[in-house]
Amino acid sequence: MIKYDTGRLGLTFVLRCRGSVFPKALLMAIPNAVAAVLLHMYYRHDQSDDGNGLMNMSGVDMLWAAYTSVLGFLVVFRNNQAYTRFWEGATLINQVRGEWFNAVSSLFAFCNTDKEFDEQVKVFQHMLIRLASMLYCSALQQVCDLDDDRLWDAGDWEAFWKAVY
């Protein structure tokens, strides 16, 4: 996977050549754009009074409508696929959290309720919560893509803003 540095505004990676699709896209787009401009100039230059001219381009409107329809369908289809994959991943992460919560809750339910073991049970429960929290943190670190493999403390806003800017 290519690691991108988003920079200050978050858009500097778009202008890079390494890992970008723009050089390949421009390689195909520029010659086609030049050809389209030349054909348009030729069409306008040699157009007769009836509107057909030398190139008889009477069906261009239908071709353009078909092209934009197919292109629109492809863009919507790809966007829908990406959206579906995102929600599937988010749902699975929440399902993992729920399953682990149920497992820890079951372990809490089976703890000893005798008064003489209150201190040991409390220590065990605190340790169990910490271990489950670290397990979930480790799972999130496997999924997310961070440079230093650590997640921020939710209450440490200064560290968050330092990392963002």
CA–CA distance from 125 to each of 107, 109, 117, 120, 129 (Å)? Answer: 9, 10, 12, 9, 6
DSSP string across 67-78: HHHHHHHHHHHH
pLDDT for 5: 66
Q: Which amino acid is at 79?
A: N
**Could you tell me how many residues make up the chain?**
165
Q: Compute the distance between CA of residue 106 and CA of residue 153 in angstroms, rounded to an integer.
A: 27
30 pLDDT band, cuts 50/70/90, is: very high
Q: Which amino acid is at 98?
A: G
- Tens-place pLDDT, residues 93-131: 999 999 999 999 999 999 998 999 999 999 999 999 999
Residue pair 154/133 in contact (Cβ under 8 Å)? The answer is no
pLDDT for 160: 61
Mean pLDDT over each residue of the chain, to the nearest integer? 81
pLDDT for 14: 66
Rg (CA), the chain: 30
Does the pLDDT at position 70 exceed 70?
yes
pLDDT for 120: 93
Interacting residues of 143 by C-beta distance below 8 A, sequence separation 6+: 89, 93
Q: Which amino acid is at 21?
A: V
At residue 110, the 3 state secondary structure works out as coil
Mean pLDDT for the stretch of residues 75-89: 94
Cα–Cα–Cα angle for 138, 127, 149, rounded to 5 degrees: 20
Interacting residues of 153 by C-beta distance below 8 A, sequence separation 6+: 159
Percent of residues, the chain, with pLDDT higher than 90: 42
pTM: 0.52
pLDDT for 145: 73
